[in-house]
Structure 1
């Protein structure tokens, strides 16, 4: 099967200057990182008036590539590269020289591109450039951050100039045979598009063409350092298949298992559940005697590519999250022939069963559980993941009271979504009563979507009911946030403090912009009254605070007026 293949070629010259302050680098790993992180190319042009411009350029291109590959594979390219660039900017900006006006002496332009799957991600600050040569035409993909002052171009944006760095971010679709050309201003300021295209189409390796481009600019009067890096897209992977989807074609569906049966070295001790989507068994590994959970997909979904891709991705997600509040999933044997995964076996009960056993829990009991679920969800958030199926059935509570989040089959991995390598979801995923409104209406999900679902669970734990009228999504999809009509907590539990209703009402705002922005804010207000919200409620008119009391008072007032008129 075809993979991403890139070819690199570049050349750099100090030109008429005494020192070359340009730098470039490119890399495409040969291992699994080629698929999870892609290839990288970068060019930097150190500012010549700075005493450490050359150091800045070299540091940025080399560290950008090295550090990018150290970021978690679950992060989106934008998040990973952005974190690296902001870190480099802080470092460069902090290299002050008080003998030279006290400003940073490590300032450089930066133009970088990450080639992942069939997408290209460009990060740019300064006046170096990235240009695409496609179908015989040139297209400049970056904008020069300069202003014209006194007949010269003055940089308005670059790494190291200010403590905060604004980076231009562009996403492009890759095509086979594309050429991406990185140049410093010593090159592109002296070449016309006509000459540029001619030199790119001439015979020779990429390095030979880059060399000719640099030499041509030098011959045409370039008075600066000159650098040209060319990247050619030699081949691309299939855009609609990620690593785990590909396994669907080679792994067989396992049969229904019974106690005593074996599957690839795992002997079944107990059937935990047989559901419509999957089955879970308590098994023992006969090689080491350890007990695990073995989860298999249901035969009913043998032809459902979206479900099976999610099932296999669940294994990948579980292996990239290491936390005590998240169920562990272990890697299958390389020789495995069947589709299943091995997970931590959790002795305990689901939150749903806990709710049955505790129909009217106190607030402290609920907080103790919800705080641990929040811890698990924050782990996913840091990994650029959204669970999308937070419900009582997907929360386990051990006999020791430890909470574990389970079931990652619907998890949105943004690092996969950004390259369109996930199967198209034709229907919404997740339990219908807990789905966030923005997912139903706009088909978008974020950590605030998980927060909404968690608040639904919290409300249900406390009251035994849901805060909104249930929709039958098979028959009707709401089109407006106004269709979610919140029911106050005291409708079901008059013993709960009024400030708790304010907390849940905010966490359950149908419009995500009106919800809490962070889990910590929700947990804080779940632990103690939010005085700001209480003051805001106190300032609201009686009609808004308590419509029933308002109309009662209105009726009494009208009655008194009528009585007075009759007496008069």
Structure 2
């Protein structure tokens, strides 16, 4: 799901000689949908004849809207607002310290209230006396407090953009709900209308634009002497929960306790226990309404209170939800627009009582289970390699490293599709600190660079090496470097035996691809998943283009000309023999 917002903006000059308010909204690009929306309203301080208040308001809003979606993906929303506005404040403060025209002091000052909508939460940043409001279920709440002092000997802002070298912003955050109406106003609106009047207009006026128009018109009719600006945001639908939302659920909800077959969790009826590795439990369950089977992944009771494990499970759910958006976010999508290379994860249900992940259930077998019956032939391995390489290319394009590619994490469903399982230790730009510090993976599939001193961090090449080891094992039944224990660098001192030497039926082109993927020297391997995928697709295309050899025809009687030809050849051979051996 994606945000569905109805927006309305109205800004009236009123009795002022010029309008020094400025407001705007910035939507994310399609491939940045998880970064959310941002809106801001600024009220320039009228202190000079050169329009510096308008300049301060306009540049502050525009710089925030322009740069919000360009910050690093691992920045928290409040951090992004604080740093972007802090840089703008430093620029305004430096501008104000330079002499103005005719020696007058510069006064490029502005209030600013900004709101970012990300996942299912909002984050506010505020300075000055513009305001933010929230109308929910008929109740109107003021979300900000004015930074203004009113005394007989002084009236003015105590905080504003450009007033001081250091900016002190008020920050707040909260959950969003469908039907929420957010409102940003300049003091030309709330200075003329009481909070009750604003609430009545918000409740009574359908449509965001109509509500914004009604507020500014009412403010001028009530005698406002200032510019009147109102920005209304109606939340019609919410996006899938973001990482911050999921992390908050992980901190607040308990983990499920022991669940025997037949137990019910939030409507899911447990039908089977699938796996338990001491850290996570995997259960099969049936959905309450559709009756479909799903997989529930949750923390083992012994790890249920570990905040780091909770953060990593929240990150795994978040990655799964991003992959579910693949058809609409082209950089995540496959060439056919699908995301079938991964198991779809479901967003947490409203009203969930415990913290766990819900995945689609796919019957079938992992590669590890298939290999228990022996190695696979080339015709079976080639589609496996192509599917997994395509999935890795999607992950790597988004800056994600799986870190645990192995036969146990590759699954072929009953629909014939190969899928990559378990993003629990995957690294992304927003991975929790515990995941970054964890030396994850299965030793026999980890590339040698991670064992050297000092070790190199895992990267896209680590996944490609692990895939190469997996393909080698699938074709030969053996690991290229044998069973590896941590720090056994001696195992990597020579190249492994070629695949075709161990399994002569493997075609040489496939042998070369696999041996390149597991090469001892990283410089000899594939650099990207796309390069490996291209090599596999070329091999598959060439195999399909070569026509099959026709079967031998059944024996037929020789024709007369065939008999005559055979007799002629035989007589010529006899004549040659007689000439060679004729006594001289």
- Per the normalisation by structure 2, the TM-score is 0.52
Q: Secondary structure at the match of 1:456?
A: helix
Looking at structure 2, the residues matched to 190 and 509 of structure 1 have their Cα atoms a distance apart, in angstroms, of 66
Q: Secondary structure at the match of 2:461?
A: helix
Looking at structure 1, the residues matched to 314 and 269 of structure 2 have their Cα atoms a distance apart, in angstroms, of 21
* TM-aligned CA deviation for residue 466 of structure 1: 1.3
Partner of 1:521: 531
* TM-aligned CA deviation for residue 482 of structure 1: 6.1
Preserved CA contact (<8 Å) 1:180 1:232:
no
Is structure 2 residue 359 aligned with structure 1 residue 349? no
Partner of 2:406: 391
Partner of 2:506: 496
2:428 pairs, out of 395, 413, 417, with 413
Partner of 2:387: 372
Looking at structure 1, the residues matched to 498 and 421 of structure 2 have their Cα atoms a distance apart, in angstroms, of 30
2:354 pairs, out of 330, 338, 341, with 338
Partner of 2:271: 269
Looking at structure 1, the residues matched to 248 and 495 of structure 2 have their Cα atoms a distance apart, in angstroms, of 43
Q: Secondary structure at the match of 1:320?
A: helix
Identify if the C-alpha distance between structure 1 residues 39 and 282 changes in structure 2 by more than 3 Å, giving closer, same or farther.
Answer: same
Is structure 2 residue 462 aligned with structure 1 residue 449? yes
Partner of 1:316: 318
Preserved CA contact (<8 Å) 1:317 1:408:
yes
1:181 pairs, out of 86, 90, 101, with 90
Looking at structure 1, the residues matched to 311 and 99 of structure 2 have their Cα atoms a distance apart, in angstroms, of 51
Once the two structures are superposed, the pairs formed by residues 124-135 of structure 1 within 5 Å of their partners are none
Looking at structure 1, the residues matched to 502 and 386 of structure 2 have their Cα atoms a distance apart, in angstroms, of 23
Gaps of 5+ in 1: 1-22, 42-57, 70-75, 81-113, 124-129, 133-178, 214-228, 531-568
Q: Secondary structure at the match of 2:463?
A: helix
* TM-aligned CA deviation for residue 350 of structure 1: 0.8
Identify if the C-alpha distance between structure 1 residues 190 and 312 changes in structure 2 by more than 3 Å, giving closer, same or farther.
Answer: same
* TM-aligned CA deviation for residue 262 of structure 1: 0.9
Per-residue CA shift, 1:225-268, capped at 9, x if unaligned? xxxx996454599xxx9554443432222122222111111111
Looking at structure 1, the residues matched to 167 and 160 of structure 2 have their Cα atoms a distance apart, in angstroms, of 13
* TM-aligned CA deviation for residue 409 of structure 1: 0.9
* TM-aligned CA deviation for residue 369 of structure 1: 1.1
Is structure 2 residue 417 aligned with structure 1 residue 402? yes
Identify if the C-alpha distance between structure 1 residues 436 and 346 changes in structure 2 by more than 3 Å, giving closer, same or farther.
Answer: same
Count of residues in correspondence between the two structures: 373
Once the two structures are superposed, the pairs formed by residues 431-450 of structure 1 within 5 Å of their partners are 431-440=442-451, 442=455, 444-450=457-463
* TM-aligned CA deviation for residue 116 of structure 1: 4.5
Q: Secondary structure at the match of 1:386?
A: coil
Identify if the C-alpha distance between structure 1 residues 186 and 303 changes in structure 2 by more than 3 Å, giving closer, same or farther.
Answer: closer
Preserved CA contact (<8 Å) 1:38 1:117:
no
Preserved CA contact (<8 Å) 1:469 1:484:
no
* TM-aligned CA deviation for residue 388 of structure 1: 1.4
* TM-aligned CA deviation for residue 469 of structure 1: 3.8
Identify if the C-alpha distance between structure 1 residues 247 and 115 changes in structure 2 by more than 3 Å, giving closer, same or farther.
Answer: closer
* TM-aligned CA deviation for residue 352 of structure 1: 1.0
Looking at structure 2, the residues matched to 67 and 401 of structure 1 have their Cα atoms a distance apart, in angstroms, of 44
Preserved CA contact (<8 Å) 2:386 2:536:
no
Q: Secondary structure at the match of 1:385?
A: coil
* TM-aligned CA deviation for residue 302 of structure 1: 2.7
Identify if the C-alpha distance between structure 1 residues 383 and 426 changes in structure 2 by more than 3 Å, giving closer, same or farther.
Answer: closer
* TM-aligned CA deviation for residue 490 of structure 1: 3.7
* TM-aligned CA deviation for residue 368 of structure 1: 0.6
Q: Secondary structure at the match of 1:342?
A: strand
Preserved CA contact (<8 Å) 1:506 1:516:
yes
RMSD: 4.9
Looking at structure 1, the residues matched to 281 and 391 of structure 2 have their Cα atoms a distance apart, in angstroms, of 24
Q: Secondary structure at the match of 1:410?
A: coil
* TM-aligned CA deviation for residue 62 of structure 1: 5.3
- Range with bigger deviation, 362-371 or 306-315: 306-315
Identify if the C-alpha distance between structure 1 residues 528 and 232 changes in structure 2 by more than 3 Å, giving closer, same or farther.
Answer: same
Identify if the C-alpha distance between structure 1 residues 389 and 255 changes in structure 2 by more than 3 Å, giving closer, same or farther.
Answer: same
Once the two structures are superposed, the pairs formed by residues 235-246 of structure 1 within 5 Å of their partners are 243-246=245-248
Partner of 1:326: 342
* TM-aligned CA deviation for residue 507 of structure 1: 2.1
Partner of 1:462: 475
Identify if the C-alpha distance between structure 1 residues 231 and 259 changes in structure 2 by more than 3 Å, giving closer, same or farther.
Answer: same
- Per the normalisation by structure 1, the TM-score is 0.54
1:254 pairs, out of 228, 232, 256, with 256
Looking at structure 2, the residues matched to 340 and 115 of structure 1 have their Cα atoms a distance apart, in angstroms, of 23
Per-residue CA shift, 1:316-372, capped at 9, x if unaligned? 111111212210110122322222111101011111112223x23222311111111
Identify if the C-alpha distance between structure 1 residues 299 and 494 changes in structure 2 by more than 3 Å, giving closer, same or farther.
Answer: same
Q: Secondary structure at the match of 1:404?
A: strand
Identify if the C-alpha distance between structure 1 residues 400 and 209 changes in structure 2 by more than 3 Å, giving closer, same or farther.
Answer: closer
Preserved CA contact (<8 Å) 2:403 2:463:
yes
Per-residue CA shift, 1:23-68, capped at 9, x if unaligned? 9988899xxx999569799xxxxxxxxxxxxxxxx99985983796
Which structure has the larger Rg? 2
Partner of 1:65: 65
Is structure 2 residue 518 aligned with structure 1 residue 508? yes
Identify if the C-alpha distance between structure 1 residues 472 and 256 changes in structure 2 by more than 3 Å, giving closer, same or farther.
Answer: same
